[in-house]
Amino acid sequence: MIETITESGMDFIADNVFHIEKSPFYTRLRGSVKSVEFVRAKGCKLMFVEAKSSFPKLNDTDDKKSTRFREEVEEMCDKFVHSLNLYSSIDVGVADNGFPADFKPADKVSLVFILVINGFKTAWCDPIKKALRNRVRQSRCMANIWKPEIFVINEKTAAARKLITN
């Protein structure tokens, strides 16, 4: 039987996963930092995964909707950056609590930030991906040191990429 983590109505495959959102370290810091749902190490990829059941759509003609869109993009960037900092602090031993015994961190990795939005049309994902990529590029540290890949996908694409069960 496949182990899963259920978030936003989707069952994510949980092989070699650090459920950062449920970790003791994050639980102690909750309120002062934000977190993605989990971190999954697969091959040389370290995937930071956030699940949502909705996301505001970009609307250039409605200032209120555009403001909400920008706020959500900022929130997602904060979650990714804070989660990377949490993960890194555990990995280098700054945090008291380590990784779960069955989690095997990758030695040499490339970072992947994945936002999965349940029930979203594929066309609605592209403006979010562009906004996230632009926001990450504003942080020279993130863009030049970590060089993350960013994906914004729906549940159908997540299933095709074997991130969730069908």
User: Tens digits of per-residue pLDDT, 141-156?
Assistant: 777 888 899 999 999 9
Phi and psi at residue 54, in whole multiples of 5°?
Answer: -160, 165
Q: Which helix (H) or strand (E) holds 157?
A: helix 155-160
8 Å CB contact between 96 and 119: no
List of residues 6+ apart from 102 with CB closer than 8 A: 16
8 Å CB contact between 48 and 36: yes
User: How many of the other CB atoms lie within 10 Å of CB of 44?
Assistant: 10
| 43-92 pLDDT per residue, tens | 889 999 999 999 998 876 778 878 899 999 999 999 999 999 999 999 88
DSSP 5: E
